[in-house]
Structure 1
């Protein structure tokens, strides 16, 4: 076996950065969209043993994430950070407390809880993981309620509290979140401090209303009840640095410069609001159709917090049957398939009643190079039997190929074709923004809404530096952007 080359960036964490107009509106403000450049974190190379262990952990974590008792609410999403030397990821930033302090968190549409590592027992300075200190915030309230999250490779435990949380130019004054004091080894990977779930409240382990949903239910804050993602690709860039620009996250509006044509929305099936569910209606590989079933047997969770694409054993097996030279892996990597690296594999997915088939590029399908001639595919067999989990989990392997929109009302997921501007960001190296906490354009507490204050005196400088270093990002982000928090990493 050879040492693995730099290969597919396969998971999504996100990093908040600049908006471009800083003035906070008056109490009679017009709801505004917020746009956040994302940051991509690269990973080191893996040898054969490390690859085998990483593949095993990815499968176990994803099955654990969706495999809880159907009568229990659950929280999860850090499935991609449990192996420190395995994968790339995208992360974002929030700011918590008074005074506000920024933290990097996974933005996960496959779960619904917010939690942060606490300062008492989770980390040491040498870990490089920033931790939340409740005593440092004058607005923190301890709810004296236990909180626990279980994963295939570990768990995080602590208590619930509430405090002011800023995200994407908005603030919720009394957001409930987990303050985690016990974390299994390697569950967190510097510089990530926790997770923000972007699913619906119905699957929140804490029972708390997720940040985004509180803004939607307020009814006066967001321009539109939606959030949108565009993710970049760096899998074929050998000189990529540890941190690179990773795309954009929008809250309250879409960014029209990042996609072309219409957004193809498909409603979440009736009664399935919890995960962002779509019914997989079509699957092809190199033009050959693969049968996927219908109804609940084809339900797919669209999950930004998942690296790969998992599906039923029989369908995944049929997919690889259409790829000459492919073979099922065995042992701890059972459920994965290998195929000749020189084979171009182009997969498409179609959802709901849509006539549009969305691509998964050959670059994204090729998950890892296992040997000089053999590669591992990014689609794998997911075992969800005996659980309430959907049959399919569709992660960043697919989502890097589309502009994705998660809309609360009507509850639906939309996809659109990436624009040339968005595609030009793939592989474009860029500087990492400096940490900043800035203006909050809208604040809610319960059903009320108001304005915040600028907590940063260096906002304009950080904005200028980012514009100078990211080139086309300035063009993409300037379209339709007004106001917002400056939370940089």
Structure 2
């Protein structure tokens, strides 16, 4: 059994005990209508009989809507088993395993979440394998099994997944999602479990070996993952492609980081991962202290809400492209209290002084995770 230290949830959601359940067994149109997304989605995706990526009408639909919980977590619904058992999951590009709570779980974190019952699925296949995953803010241990996993209308046969038996501590108890569906590479998968998207590719269930992500702002609806396609409505500003530096996380090389016109970090290049499972933008301690100093912000990261417009841009220079975050993007306003959406990684891990480009960064772009070409694409949204 491999011990995997994943950074994907270092700053994930201030979890909330009240979950917003999404039900399966309905058509995608019904799901969108139920959650107030249909009208907006149809405007962005008018019917085009020639388009194989029309997520509402095409038989090969791979559109997965996600709930936006206060800009801190984004999660959608999948089903496991026959008949289907429903679970809300984080679609996490910072990890590679799929796991959900199970009826075997004895932790309090499982008591208020949906739990998978193998005895109620005619397609479940048990194993003698165990799994343990440690995230930045929680961990799980349990057993591995195989079953049919349905994401949107894609049915993945014989998908290996974790059934949690323990979820220590209180973190997952307060989360408004049940489990996690990892979308990173097989090389970092705990216990060597094949990730869901790898099986989608292996079973020829997606038109292209890529998926794309849109994360809405300010608690708005409309967030989604599109498996196997790129939505051209979100790429009108063009796509900047960045090659991967490692096939582990969605890892890329950054050239430098500037605040305003000042070169403040990443002096001899540095590594970053693009992580939908991390709420904030996480940086090494030295860079974090320099950013706070250049922005004139105290060690607690709090800023005056009235002074936001006077702050400089923070720009990430990556593969010859400049990806700029304005103050309105990197400052969080929570009921009149404003703070930076940056976090100090603290002591370097076994991965070194790595940056995590979390939701603070991703919300500014439509992001394409291209497994076929081992690259990430960014298209500015605004």
Q: Same fold (TM over 0.5)?
A: yes
Match of 1:378 among 310, 319, 341: 341
C-alpha distance in 1 between matches for 2:175 and 2:351? 32
Partner of 2:181: 196
Partner of 1:358: 323
> What does 1:288-437 correspond to in 2, within 5 Å?
288-295=262-269, 298-324=270-296, 326-329=297-300, 337-344=301-308, 345-355=311-321, 357-367=322-332, 375-389=338-352, 391-418=354-381
Instruction: Tell me if 1:266 matches 2:242.
Output: yes
Displacement, 1:225?
Answer: 1.0
Tell me if the contact between 2:241 and 2:378 (Cα under 8 Å) persists in the aligned partners: yes
Q: Go from structure 1 to structure 2 and tell me whether the alpha carbon gap of 1:192 and 1:376 turns closer, same or farther (over 3 Å shift).
A: same
Q: Go from structure 1 to structure 2 and tell me whether the alpha carbon gap of 1:125 and 1:306 turns closer, same or farther (over 3 Å shift).
A: closer
> What does 1:21-420 correspond to in 2, within 5 Å?
21=57, 23=59, 32=60, 34-42=62-70, 88-122=72-106, 127-188=111-172, 189=174, 191-218=176-203, 220-234=204-218, 245-269=221-245, 272-295=246-269, 298-324=270-296, 326-329=297-300, 337-344=301-308, 345-355=311-321, 357-367=322-332, 375-389=338-352, 391-418=354-381
Tell me if the contact between 1:119 and 1:133 (Cα under 8 Å) persists in the aligned partners: yes
Unpaired runs of at least 5, structure 2: 1-10, 30-54
C-alpha distance in 2 between matches for 1:213 and 1:196? 12
> What does 1:3-18 correspond to in 2, within 5 Å?
18=29
Tell me if the contact between 1:277 and 1:302 (Cα under 8 Å) persists in the aligned partners: yes
Displacement, 1:144?
Answer: 1.5
C-alpha distance in 1 between matches for 2:240 and 2:330? 23
Displacement, 1:346?
Answer: 4.8
Q: Go from structure 1 to structure 2 and tell me whether the alpha carbon gap of 1:149 and 1:34 turns closer, same or farther (over 3 Å shift).
A: same
> Which protein has the bigger strand share?
2
Q: Go from structure 1 to structure 2 and tell me whether the alpha carbon gap of 1:22 and 1:255 turns closer, same or farther (over 3 Å shift).
A: closer
Displacement, 1:215?
Answer: 2.1
Say which SS state the counterpart of residue 328 (structure 1) adopts. coil
C-alpha distance in 2 between matches for 1:126 and 1:209? 24
Match of 1:20 among 43, 47, 56: 56
Unpaired runs of at least 5, structure 1: 1-8, 24-31, 43-86, 236-243, 330-336, 420-489
Q: CA RMSD in A?
A: 2.9
Say which SS state the counterpart of residue 249 (structure 1) adopts. strand
Q: Go from structure 1 to structure 2 and tell me whether the alpha carbon gap of 1:315 and 1:418 turns closer, same or farther (over 3 Å shift).
A: same
C-alpha distance in 2 between matches for 1:102 and 1:134? 13
Give the TM-score normalised by the residue count of structure 1.
0.62
C-alpha distance in 1 between matches for 2:367 and 2:225? 10
Partner of 2:52: none
Partner of 1:447: none
Displacement, 1:127?
Answer: 4.7
- Aligned length, in residue pairs: 335
Displacement, 1:351?
Answer: 4.6
Displacement, 1:364?
Answer: 3.4
User: What whole-Å deviation, never above 9, does each CA across 1:258-314 have from its counterpart, x for those lacking one?
Assistant: 231321111012xx111001112232334544232234xx10011000011111222
C-alpha distance in 2 between matches for 1:369 and 1:163? 41
Q: Go from structure 1 to structure 2 and tell me whether the alpha carbon gap of 1:12 and 1:369 turns closer, same or farther (over 3 Å shift).
A: closer
Say which SS state the counterpart of residue 143 (structure 2) adopts. strand
Tell me if the contact between 1:12 and 1:91 (Cα under 8 Å) persists in the aligned partners: no
C-alpha distance in 1 between matches for 2:236 and 2:352? 33
Tell me if the contact between 1:233 and 1:246 (Cα under 8 Å) persists in the aligned partners: no
Tell me if the contact between 2:12 and 2:277 (Cα under 8 Å) persists in the aligned partners: no
C-alpha distance in 2 between matches for 1:415 and 1:293? 23
Tell me if the contact between 2:73 and 2:277 (Cα under 8 Å) persists in the aligned partners: no
Displacement, 1:185?
Answer: 3.7
Give the TM-score normalised by the residue count of structure 2.
0.79
Tell me if the contact between 2:210 and 2:370 (Cα under 8 Å) persists in the aligned partners: yes
Q: Go from structure 1 to structure 2 and tell me whether the alpha carbon gap of 1:166 and 1:216 turns closer, same or farther (over 3 Å shift).
A: same
Say which SS state the counterpart of residue 245 (structure 1) adopts. coil
